[in-house]
Structure 1
Amino acid sequence: MLSGDLYQQKNQVKIGILLILMAFSGAWFYYTNTLIVRLESHEEEEVRLYAESLEYALTSPVETDVNFFFDKVVKINTEIPVIYEYQGQYQSINLKLPENTQEIPAFLKQKSQEFQTTHPPIEIDGGFGKGYIYFSHSFLFTQLQYYPVIMLLGLLVFGYLAYLAFSASRRSEQNRVWVGLAKETAHQLGTPLSGLKGWVEYFKTDPDRYETEFVLEVEKDVERLETITARFSNIGSVPTLHPEPLAQHVEQFVDYLKRRVSSKIKWNVNNEIPAGKMIPVNRNLFEWVVENLCKNAVDAMEGVGELRIHLWEKAGQTYIDISDTGKGIPKSQWKQVFNPGFSTKKRGWGLGLTLAKRIIENYHRGRLYVKASEPGKGTTFRISLPS
């Protein structure tokens, strides 16, 4: 049995993959954040070493030669931008300064204020007063901060493109399977159908033995089989659309269905389309859509209830609502019902609504969707076609 379980399993697989990706992303962010914290701590220690070395150099006795040691400390820092401010005078390392020397003091003052937003200044004793060391993150630190975000975005883009490619490949494969199945079904139906047509003609030649009404009904069913065979032939290729009196066809088809479903179904057809209005459709395939929707409605009502069909036009569109008083569809499944394999019935392949949507949207440039549904009260499917 093909049922909603198949779709549920697919959803579970998707959720599982999503959870794995989320776990991987979380682990990646945690690891990267650990590196960032360690790098930040290392950079701060490096700047504090620079501050202590500078303070020692400024406060050491004149005869003490600390320049060699201080130069070594300065050369260690090749990436962290640092500003030393003492009594309104500024010095810097690892900063690109303005070419105009007159702009440098104002530039360094502004930068020192910006640096305070990331790290508090380090206070040092300059010998004749307090000095301050301002510093910011290195370029390597900034890169490491944005790296996981860029990496994740890259993975998302790659995953999305892979999903599109996979979906296109899957749809193409499904189309080939459907076309092959449709062509083979039409071929297999052809032989017994020819035989049935021959028997109908034979029945007509002996009206005394076979009731005329019985023969006519059998003939209608044989014609129906011919229509079904034509449908399967058309589904395998792009069908031709012809202007047809759509409302009239729907009413005739409903009359045909009435005799072949439960007599406890009350039919209500409300046609507001002007008589003779022609709408471009493929009659065989469109009747297939109406048949699928009506039979699903009968199944949803379990053979007892009211089936309403409303036809009308508005703003260049033709609308057909098919409503039942059945068990309804939960809102979470309104889109799922059109997925291949989704079915709430014990028997069925779950392809009827899938093919119906394909016929309306791919071949007729229209729309087929669940307009409204409430569990225990019924469902309304809406077809919209360009007039």
Structure 2
Amino acid sequence: MARREVFVNIYEQITGWRFFAIIILLLVGTGILYYFNQLGETLDGREKKYAKLYAEGIRFTIEQSLNSSCDYTYVQEMLEANETVPMILVINGVPSKTHQNIPELEDKTRKWTEQELLDFKYNIVAEMGQEHPPIEFVAGKDKGYVYYSNSVVVKQLRYFPYILIGTFLIFGSLAYIAYSSSRKAEQNRVWVGLAKETAHQLGTPISALMAWVEVLRANPEFDASIGDEMEKDVKRLETITTRFSNIGSIPQMSKERIAEMVEQTLKYLERRISTKVKVHFASQIPDDTMVEVNRHLFEWVIENLCKNAVDAMVGKGELFVSLLPLNKNRIAIDVTDTGKGISQTNLRKIFKPGFSTKKRGWGLGLTLARRIIENYHDGRLYVKETQVDKGTTFRIILDVA
């Protein structure tokens, strides 16, 4: 049977406008990264020029003897113009005393031993060498290198676009979550209102049906067993009405004998499903095992799973319902059919609202069943195992009261 989508969920499908918005966001993010990358490269090139000027100034100073009549004022000003780029001079492989913008070396209060100072300079030179190749120059017999690293501003600038994009993503995600939650809450209010109105409308005809059953029983020729079955069906309608009227409210919980409750539900269903479906019930837990449940809602979950199983078997097969003990004071309820099974594609979707493989139905049964078990009963409902054309097992896990 072909799968049919009953509702179109705009929150889970990528529509045209959403795809377009994602493309725009990707282009904007790429543009931001490109712009700041270009800006970083420009500043990096400028700082490299500072390093070259610094190296040229050092070379000129070394080549000119101190006794020369040359005016070093301009050279000194050029060397001191750099106030941001960390640099250190290495002569013939040994770090010298000449450096700029290295806070640790400029701290006058810090006391160094000669070896500590030399080790620190070697570490600084090694780190700067990994960041940029040194600027090499030759002055007389000496071979010098100016090691440098990017200024704090340039380093921060490299991370800034990622911080900016991350901030946009965080605020965008929060806005989307708020919008999505608002729309889902609105949808929930619609469903709650529809359920309560349905319960209200069912109230009058159910009361009338109860009265007609009593009228029929007053007839001596009326079969009493038929009246009993009709009364059971009318009471079942009352139960369904109670379930609908309680939707949106906090359910009242009570301790129930779980095995007895499940067995009674199966007995009711057994007389109202296909006679070609054989129902098997087995309980491996003590009869007095109590579980805190809302009887009306929990019976509906069992009914829903069993009816889905009957539909999967197309009205012919075997239905097994088993109660099993688990560790940590928990029990499991397995509902197994010999139907057509669930494909791997549909397995990921069966609990989503609006998904159905049947020609009739709204595709809400399993969604509501899982919500009832997990939200109201602190349990779990999932597909334990399934094989195509062999059958499926749904498992409910509950805590023992």
Alpha-carbon spacing, 1:361–1:344, altered in 2? closer, same or farther (3 Å): same
Give the match for residue 376 of structure 1: 389
Shift of 1:49: 2.9
Alpha-carbon spacing, 1:167–1:333, altered in 2? closer, same or farther (3 Å): farther
Give the root-mean-square deviation of aligned CA atoms: 2.8
Q: Match of 2:288, as an amino acid?
A: G
Kept in 1: contact 2:277–2:318 (CA 8 A): yes
Cα-to-partner distance string for 1:207-227 (whole Å, 9 max, x where unaligned): 42x444433332221111111
TM-score, length basis structure 2: 0.85
CA distance in 2, matches of 1:23, 1:265: 59
Kept in 2: contact 1:81–1:137 (CA 8 A): yes
Alpha-carbon spacing, 1:277–1:110, altered in 2? closer, same or farther (3 Å): closer
Q: Match of 1:242, as an amino acid?
A: S
Give the match for residue 307 of structure 2: 295
Say yes or no: does 1:366 pair with 2:379. yes
Q: Match of 1:40, as an amino acid?
A: D
Q: Match of 2:50, as an amino acid?
A: E
SS in 2 for 1:141: helix
Pairing 1:341-360 to 2, within 5 Å after superposition? 341-360=354-373
Shift of 1:159: 4.1
Q: Which moved more, 1:235-244 or 1:155-164?
A: 155-164
CA distance in 1, matches of 2:337, 2:8: 26
Give the match for residue 139 of structure 1: 152
Unmatched segments (≥5 aa) in structure 2? none
Q: Match of 1:84, as an amino acid?
A: L
Shift of 1:339: 2.3
Say yes or no: does 1:240 pair with 2:252. yes
Say yes or no: does 1:266 pair with 2:272. no
Alpha-carbon spacing, 1:161–1:310, altered in 2? closer, same or farther (3 Å): same
Say yes or no: does 1:33 pair with 2:37. yes
Cα-to-partner distance string for 1:242-283 (whole Å, 9 max, x where unaligned): 221221121121122122222222322222122233222111
CA distance in 2, matches of 1:146, 1:310: 59
Shift of 1:141: 1.5
Cα-to-partner distance string for 1:87-140 (whole Å, 9 max, x where unaligned): 542311111124336455543333112211111221112234111100011111
Give the match for residue 224 of structure 1: 236
Q: 2:226 aligns with which of 203, 214, 227?
A: 214
Kept in 1: contact 2:11–2:180 (CA 8 A): no
CA distance in 1, matches of 2:11, 2:391: 27
CA distance in 2, matches of 1:261, 1:26: 61
CA distance in 2, matches of 1:94, 1:4: 68
Q: Which moved more, 1:109-118 or 1:135-144?
A: 109-118
Pairing 1:25-104 to 2, within 5 Å after superposition? 25-59=29-63, 62-65=68-71, 67-68=73-74, 70-87=75-92, 88=94, 89-96=96-103, 97=105, 98-99=107-108, 100=110, 102=112, 104=117
Q: Which moved more, 1:50-59 or 1:248-257?
A: 50-59
Shift of 1:81: 0.6
Shift of 1:193: 0.9
CA distance in 2, matches of 1:311, 1:113: 70
Cα-to-partner distance string for 1:343-375 (whole Å, 9 max, x where unaligned): 222322222112212211222121112222233
Q: Match of 1:301, as an amino acid?
A: M
Kept in 2: contact 1:242–1:282 (CA 8 A): yes
Q: Match of 2:122, as an amino acid?
A: K
Shift of 1:27: 4.2
Unmatched segments (≥5 aa) in structure 1? none
Q: Match of 1:11, as an amino acid?
A: Q
Alpha-carbon spacing, 1:271–1:27, altered in 2? closer, same or farther (3 Å): farther
Give the match for residue 191 of structure 1: 204
Kept in 1: contact 2:338–2:391 (CA 8 A): yes
Give the match for residue 204 of structure 1: 217
Shift of 1:167: 5.0
CA distance in 1, matches of 2:14, 2:31: 22
Q: Match of 2:97, as an amino acid?
A: Y
TM-score, length basis structure 1: 0.88
Query: Across the two proteins, how many residue pairs are aligned to each other?
Result: 385
